[in-house]
Structure 1
Amino acid sequence: MQALAGKQLSAGLSRPSRGQLVITSVATPSKAPTSRLAKRSKVEIIKENSDYLRHPLMEELVNDKTYITEDSVQLMKFHGSYQQDHREKRSFGSGKAYMFMMRTRQPSGIVPNRLYLVMDELADKFGNGTLRLTTRQAYQLHAVLKHDLKTVFSTVIKNMGSTLGACGDVNRNVMGPAAPYLNKPEYVHAQKLANDFADLLAPQSGAYYDVWLDGEKFVSVYKEDPKVTADRAFNGYGTNFENSPEPIYGAQFLPRKFKIAVTVPGDNSVDLFTNDLGVIVISDDKGEVKGYNLVVGGGMGRTHRDEDTFPRLADPLGYVDKDDIFHAVKAVVATQRDYGRRDNRKQARLKYLLSEWGVERFRSVVEQYMGKKFSEFVPMPTWEYKDYLGWGEQGNGKLFYGIYIQNGRIKGEQKKALRAVIEKFELPVTLTPHQNIILRDVDPANKDEIMAMLRAGGVQELVDWDSLDRMSMACPALPLCGLAVTEAERSLPDINKRIRAMLTKVGLPEDQFLHVRMTGCPNGCARPYMAELGFVGDGPNSYQIWLGGNSNQTRLAELYADRVKVKDLESFLEPIFAAWLAKRRPNEGFGDWTARTGFAAVKQLAATTAPTLAAAAVKNASGNGNGNGAAPAGSDKQLTAR
């Protein structure tokens, strides 16, 4: 990635040193070059002609067709839904089996009790009977038919929920640390800030309510923070469009999606560096919030065989005082809005602007929009990945309970048991960045009964899960995602069992784990480019293999191999695992070992190890032990130190 960034910069662009950046006065930034405005993608024209996301979607939702046209498909994303084709339900001669996926907006994954119960019911009545938790702490409801969309959307809106901005070229769901630590002010503040960012950058035109509530004035008990309202309206340095229904976005919105995560120092449960903008809460020794460190330019998506697309980690941007945070966020968004590419959607994410400009030039433009300079980045402790599973204390006398949900799919008896517990004890929940769920505000007196109800419903405890499963994620992929070229969610459980058998066969401990992530296409929804072992679909039953990410999610993996067939995983991976065991330093994780060793050396070691494994397999097959039995399930005991 560094080489690619350097290649792009060589085309007449340079990175000035920080010391050369001197702002003597503040002026409204110049707008994007006319060359970029002259040519626009088709989606840009659709947005501009839509009357702020209304037409032709409003008309097509009420016709008798089972689908909407491409123009409306693009607008529908902003409202929180994708049109999909169920590839396994097509019938001969009848064409595509159209249905819709609806995604909610849940800042920090926080879900009121009432909304959880409504989503559970909607899944049964109008979806496929399952709830899908996403890697950005939201719900996805699959298989909704077009004629049910208004009922589903209006029900969500009227029950403390929203889908506005869950998809589309706007700010997406804002991530935050899932832990409900009410006795830790920095966590409470981070979760509130995520909600404030969602409010600050939510579309304002009213089209959402025109489409789904037929213009009905819906009165919510929720009120946004007055500072959010005031700072959104402020336009001292060119961040806003004057007299526009969309003061920040304008008629064309952003060039592409924009993702924000908020966290506290040391807690990287949100995969901070994969976001367009990461915000870290900085507090003093007494827990009082003083300001924020900002990182910019992360993103996962790429396209196979297109080297101009790539995953990227966010760069440090600087520090801002507490009172300036909303202006800083608006300034970053405005910079992307005005300078991001609108002619090529594959190059339209903020990460490409950072790669082209360099962080110093980007910082200088953001500072003009903000009206002041950033301070130096505040030093922070080492990052650590956290999943908050199991029982924990909230700090207010109540408990929380984090439940592992395999690949985020709540279904069957598990779904019934969760509903029964959440309904009986009136519990709010939090959805985590790792596709799991946390029951909050549990009275300690109810702990045993809750556990009994969950066990009776087949909800497994952590001791029942292999640590490989706990540390894995997959996107939904087939059969509904239109971008998927192969399986992910449905295949990963079996592949994890095979990986466990391989680890056991080469002699690694039964509780040894590594971070495994799988996607059915290169867009990276499950963030496979951060994994120690990443599977990225590149054809039917075929994957790219990415290696070298680390357990705290601060290093990008790199492409190790293309077109590895599922049937060949043992012959491909076993020699690598054996070499890891033989050559690693004490307690060295898989990703750290592959990154330190280098891919050329890893391939050489694997090639040397493979004949030994093959000979052992022949010996085992002749009756001297099988050496390939399934390993015992992982436990909630101490995972092997890494």
Structure 2
Amino acid sequence: MGASVGATTTAGLMEARLQLPALNGLRQAGSAAMIGRLSVFPANPSSFSNVIRAVATQPVKPDTSSEPKRSKVEIIKEHSNFLRYPLNEELEAEAPNVNEAATQLIKFHGSYQQTNRDERGIKNYSFMLRTKNPCGKVPNKLYLAMDSLADEFGIGTLRLTTRQTFQLHGILKHNLKTVMSTIIRNMGSTLGACGDLNRNVLAPAAPFMRKDYLFAQETAEHIAALLTPQSGAYYDLWVDGEMIMSAEPPEVVKARNDNTHGTNFPGSPEPIYGTQFLPRKFKVAVTVPTDNSVDILTNDIGVVVVSDADGEPQGFNIYVGGGMGRAHRIDTTFPRLGEPLGYVPKEDILYAVKAIVCTQRDNGRRDDRRYSRMKYLISEWGIERFRSEVEKYYGKKFQPFQELPEWEFKSYLGWHEQGNGSLFCGLHVDNGRIQGTMKKTLREIIEKYNLSVRLTPNQNIILCDIRRAWKRPLTTALAQAGLLQPRYVDPLNLTAMACPALPLCPLAITEAERGTPDILKRIRGVFEKVGLKYNESVVVRVTGCPNGCARPYMAELGLVGDGPNSYQIWLGGTPNQTTLARTFMNKVKIQDLEKVLEPLFYTWKRKRLQGESFGTFTDRMGFTKLQEVVDKWEGPVPSSSRFNLKLFADRETYEAMDELAKLQNKNAHQLAMEIIRNYVASQQNGKSE
């Protein structure tokens, strides 16, 4: 738990200890500033081992005279002068990388140090930057800046993440300050995009003018502001101390400063986080009933707007305890869904969220980072005890959780009415990677029409505030760049997600983003072989390691890297993202994928109930039965279909089609079928008009 200034102690008041760095550490730039900022005046000026005490009123904290074991990262945070030291010195050094302590600290500023694992020999260091975009909102000015930075300082691509942000890859250390300052000066930020604190707050990206959607997005922005670091280190390092930030809503400032129930460290530059910040990353999502575009149950806190019969927002249901990360072969680590905590009136939401964060801050494990997420605290305590502890910081009892309708996954692809006379257009981006002609065309359109954009939690992008007269020319330009309307995109691709994995992620065990196009192509081939229709689909998510960045544990078919060219197969998630998948098989080599998927999909086609999704089917059948099907598989029963599906009458046509198909990472049969379907659809549409 972090600490702040308090010159005196009082019986019954909570305490936190901070051992200042040794004398040689204090000589470093910024350390003297830390002492001045904290107003620490040792009784013996030659000693720097004074205890700084955090003073608050409630609840009473246990005696901390015997220091518990803490992880190395906790020590780094404590000695960092609120995220400055030694990062400030490492950034000035000539080396292309930063040391271990700075590597941990720069995460809080929105960056990860990486190396290119495709290259052998001397490590080629670079940095990945991640932005902070609550609700996925990206102003026109910021999008254009990010696009330019990707070309000038990155690897020429923009990546859309599963938390509604951008990632820039390949930034060299000596360019970090230039890139960071450019983002900040163009209405953006990377502060808190990584590290042990609240990450980007999700909300539905659709720019609807409905009261509930607007209220959900505003609430997400307020929560993001409430939990943003306050010490100023970010601006000290990247824009020389210039505070380039917009005015905060008064309700956010009031909630942050309120210490009625002992949530804060009085006098500290970080009133909520203290010197220690949180035990591990923390994720929040806000949405409206039915809209599960944000994977609400996978977050540490899930907030749902509750409205009255007239559509006027009245309060919020709150879920707690979701999280995806786990480790292979360690059963004490696991993915977990959030569970209901209770209901609060709308004016209390910031105080309730703050109370939950403080409960995790003061009770989450700091000795072993593997178990530091809030989901493990709730799993250990149980929801009743957790609720009771949160209520001490909240100062009230939670009201009963209100009934909600069924959740639906919403992608918002294609053209939609905003509700104010304008349109928005959701565009599918395979694996969230914007590059090449697609990148060039998007920039031209966004710049020409002065559009703002939204990023979705499914790695897609939405163009907002489009005049009706622009729809036809925009549709044509987008299609020419490969940004097709959803009816022209393979249904498997529309819901698939993958993490970046190799070559840059240091945690990746095998491929994810680079391998997913081929995996989806092979799954489509299995669909065709067993007789599944083109418009049928399953939710596929692929990650290169078990950390779960693309949320594979919610997929109907999750592939989780567990070795070189090897994956765990997870089954049982549902299309609306409300059911946790389970491990079906381990160590499946990528070349053997069809041996597993062919019997599964064939059995689903033959034995499913009407309208039954693949994930629901696998859960109903049971994994023991499905394993028997896979083990005994000898191939599908030949079909006696009366339809002649042979598409090519001559070799020349086939070879020409095959060359075209390779450009789109498809086979000749797939491309031919798409062309035929699109032609038939256009003719039918023409007749209906």
- 2:107 is matched with 77
The equivalent residue for 1:210 is 236
1:246 is aligned to 2:274: no
| One-letter identity of the residue aligned with 2:529 | K
Residue by residue, what CA displacement relative to the aligned partner does 1:181-215 show, whole Å, maximum 9, x if unpaired? 11x10001111111111100000000000111122
Q: Does 1:457 pair with 2:516?
A: no
Tell me which moved more, 571-580 or 133-142. 571-580
Is the 2:499–2:549 Cα contact (8 Å) retained in structure 1? yes
Shift of 1:262: 0.2
Cα pair 1:299 1:351 within 8 Å, conserved: yes
| Percentage of identical aligned residues | 58
Distance in 2 between residues matched to 1:269 and 1:322, nearest whole Å? 22
Q: Which secondary structure state, in structure 2, belongs to the residue aligned with residue 39 of structure 1?
A: coil
Alpha-carbon distance between aligned partners in 2 of 1:304 and 1:536, rounded to the nearest angstrom? 10
Shift of 1:381: 0.6
Distance, in Å, in 2 between the alignment partners of 1:423 and 1:40 is 50
What is the alpha-carbon distance in structure 2 between the residues aligned to residue 33 and residue 556 of structure 1?
Answer: 39
- C-alpha separation between the residues in 1 aligned to 2:582 and 2:79? 41
Alpha-carbon separation, structure 1, partners of 2:367 and 2:347: 36
For 1:507, give the aligned amino acid. Answer: G
The C-alpha deviation readout for 1:460-488, integer Å capped at 9, x for no partner, is: 33233100000100000000000001000
> CA–CA distance in 2 between the matches of 1:196 and 1:558?
35
User: Residue 686 of structure 2 aligns with which residue?
Assistant: none
Are 2:420 and 1:396 aligned? yes
Question: 1:272 is matched with which residue?
Answer: 296
CA change 1:27–1:241 in 2 (3 A) is closer
1:582 match: secondary structure: helix
Q: Over residues 142-179 of structure 1, what are the superposed CA-to-partner deviations in whole Å (9 max), with x where a residue is unaligned?
A: 00000000000000000000000000000000000011
Out of 609, 630, 636, the residue aligned to residue 606 of structure 1 is: 630
Moved more, 339-348 or 80-89: 80-89
Distance in 2, Cα, partners of 1:217 & 1:433: 29
Q: What is the rounded CA distance, in whole Å, between the counterparts of 1:134 and 1:390 in structure 2?
A: 20
d(CA) in 2 for partners of 1:496 and 1:169? 34
- After superposition, the C-alpha distances for 1:325-363 in whole angstroms (9 at most, x for unaligned) are 111000000000000000000000000001000000000
Q: 1:186 aligns with which of 209, 212, 215?
A: 212
Partner of 1:23: none
Conserved? CA contact 1:86–1:97, under 8 Å: yes
Q: Which runs of 5+ in 1 are unaligned?
A: 1-25, 638-642
Q: CA deviation at 1:288?
A: 1.5
Equivalences for residues 101-500 of structure 1 within 5 A: 101-182=128-209, 184-218=210-244, 220=245, 222-500=246-524
SS of structure 1 residue aligned to 2:234:
helix
Partner of 1:13: none
Contact kept, 8 Å, 1:205 with 1:245, in 2: the verdict is yes
Alignment of 1:86-101 (within 5 A): 86-90=116-120, 92=121, 95-101=122-128
Secondary structure of 2:437's counterpart equals helix
Q: How many residue pairs were aligned? A: 599
Higher relative contact order (CA 8 A, sep 6+): 1
Output the aligned Cα RMSD: 2.1
Is 1:501–1:629's contact at 8 Å kept on the other side of the alignment? no
In structure 1, give the amino acid aligned to 2:634.
P
Residues 475-505 of structure 1: CA deviation (Å, up to 9, x unaligned): 0000000000100001111110110110111
Q: 1:308 to 1:30 in 2, by over 3 A?
A: farther
Give the secondary structure class of the aligned counterpart of 2:444: helix
Give the deviation of 1:593 after TM superposition.
0.2
Q: Runs of 4 or more off by more than 6 Å in structure 1? A: 634-637
The aligned amino acid for 1:506 is V
SS of structure 1 residue aligned to 2:546 = coil
**Aligned counterpart, 2:576:** 552
For 2:278 and 2:418, locate their aligned partners in 1 and report how far apart those are by CA, in whole Å.
38
Aligned twin of 2:45: none
1:37–1:342 CA contact under 8 A, matched in 2: no
Aligned equivalents of 1:432 and 1:256: distance in 2?
24
Separation (CA, whole Å) in 1 of partners of 2:568 and 2:465: 42
**Cα distance, 1:194–1:127 mapped onto 2, change above 3 Å:** same
Are residues 1:502 and 2:526 paired? yes
C-alpha separation between the residues in 1 aligned to 2:281 and 2:63?
21
Offset of residue 110 of structure 1: 0.5
Per-residue CA deviations over 1:369-414 (Å, capped at 9, x if unaligned) read: 0000000001111000000000000000000000000000000000
Q: 1:303 Cα shift?
A: 0.6
Q: 1:146 and 1:385, CA in 2 relative to 1: closer, same or farther beyond 3 A?
A: same
User: Against the structure 1 CA distance between its residues 175 and 36, is the aligned structure 2 distance closer, same or farther, given a 3 Å change threshold?
Assistant: farther
Deviation at residue 27 of structure 1 after TM alignment = 7.8
Amino acid at match of 2:74: E
Shift of 1:291: 0.6
Distance 1:164 1:36, change over 3 A: farther
Write the distance in 1 (CA, Å) between the matches of 2:596 and 2:63.
49
Residue number in structure 1 paired with 2:664: none
Partner of 2:88: 58
Q: Look up the SS of the partner of 1:160 in the other structure.
A: coil
The more displaced of 284-293 and 149-158 is: 284-293
Which runs of 5 or more structure 2 residues have no equivalent in the other structure? Answer: 1-55, 648-666, 682-689
Give the TM-score, by structure 1 length: 0.91
- 1:88 deviates by 1.9
Taking the aligned partners of 1:146 and 1:431, their CA distance within structure 2 comes to 27
State the one-letter code of the partner of 1:247.
P
Structure with bigger gyration radius: 2
1:45 aligns with 2:37: no
Q: 1:323, CA displacement in angstroms?
A: 1.1
With over 3 angstroms needed to count, the CA separation of the structure-2 counterparts of 1:456 and 1:629, relative to structure 1, is closer
Structure 1 residues 37 and 429: alpha-carbon distance in aligned structure 2, compared to 1, 3 A threshold: farther
Instruction: Name the CA distance, whole Å, in 2 between partners of 1:170 and 1:452.
Output: 43
Answer yes or no: is the 8 Å Cα contact 1:32–1:339 preserved in 2.
no
CA contact (8 A) 2:139 2:187 kept: yes
Inter-partner Cα distance in structure 1 for 2:545 and 2:674: 29
Q: For residues 337 and 36 of structure 1, what CA distance do their matches in structure 2 show?
A: 19
Amino acid across the alignment from 2:93: N
Distance 2:437 2:243 in 1: 39
Q: Give the 5 Å matches for 1:532-551.
A: 532-551=556-575
DSSP-derived class of the 1:611 partner: coil
State the distance in 2 between where 1:261 and 1:553 align: 14
Closer, same or farther: CA 633–312 of 1 in aligned 2, 3 Å: farther
Q: Distance in 2 between matches of 1:175 and 1:223?
A: 21
- Matches of 1:33 and 1:350, distance apart in 2: 23
Quick one: structure 1 residues 33 and 307, their matched pair in 2 at CA, closer, same or farther if it must change by over 3 Å?
farther
